[in-house]
Amino acid sequence: MDDDLIEVVVEEARDKMARAVDHVRAEFANVRTGRASPALVENLLVDYYGTSTPLRQLAGFSVPDAMLLVVSPYDKSSLGAIEKAIQTSDLGINPSNDGAVIRLSFPPLTEERRKDLVKVVRHKAEEGRVAVRNLRRTTRHDLEGLEKDGSISSDELDRVEKEVERLTHQQVVAIDQLLAHKEQELLEV
């Protein structure tokens, strides 16, 4: 019985920590690296007939070359709303609308802008590490509650806390690896 409780708590922590790492990965995908990528715009919210709708549900994307992203709306009447959403986003890119598709031309990043983006991804990585550590703290609190209830012994608590610590360390290392890869990508000229 108590092994089941422990397993539930640890599995929940593992799942939430993995989601925190996935969130960091998704945040990194939204940071521009000088190359055109659908990930930069697919989550933009577009006011589509009064409803905020993610752009990926309204249009298809293609990348004909490294510096150009073409957005092809499924419904041509949404072209203006999509263009407006891109203009008001923090991408800093002016869309070009030819009546059928929207072209986004990505200028090469300046050295100063690259360094600013590195600071942004470092901050996002730290937020991810903090989230993982908060999950560790919550899990420990849950396990200590089980020990107080008499559901698990202090030896089991020590064993499981070491496992949770190992799990936390693995997730922090995964975030650090993602950060190193993204920094390298950003600083690559």
In the predicted structure, residue 36 carries a pLDDT above the cut 60: yes
Q: How confident is the model at residue 40 (pLDDT cuts 50, 70, 90)?
A: confident
Q: How many other CB atoms are found less than 10 A from the CB of residue 27?
A: 18
Q: How confident is the model at residue 108 (pLDDT cuts 50, 70, 90)?
A: confident
Domain boundaries, the chain: 2-30+110-187, 38-105
CATH number of 38-105: 3.30.1360.40
Condensed to tens digits (0 to 9), the pLDDT of residues 143-183 reads: 898 889 888 888 888 999 999 999 999 999 999 999 999 99
The whole-number pLDDT of residue 19 equals: 95
- b/e for 73-101, b at 16 or more Cβ within 10 A? beeeebbebbbebbeebebebebeeeeeb
**This prediction's pTM:** 0.70
Homologous superfamily of domain range 2-30+110-187: Ribosome-recycling factor (1.10.132.20)
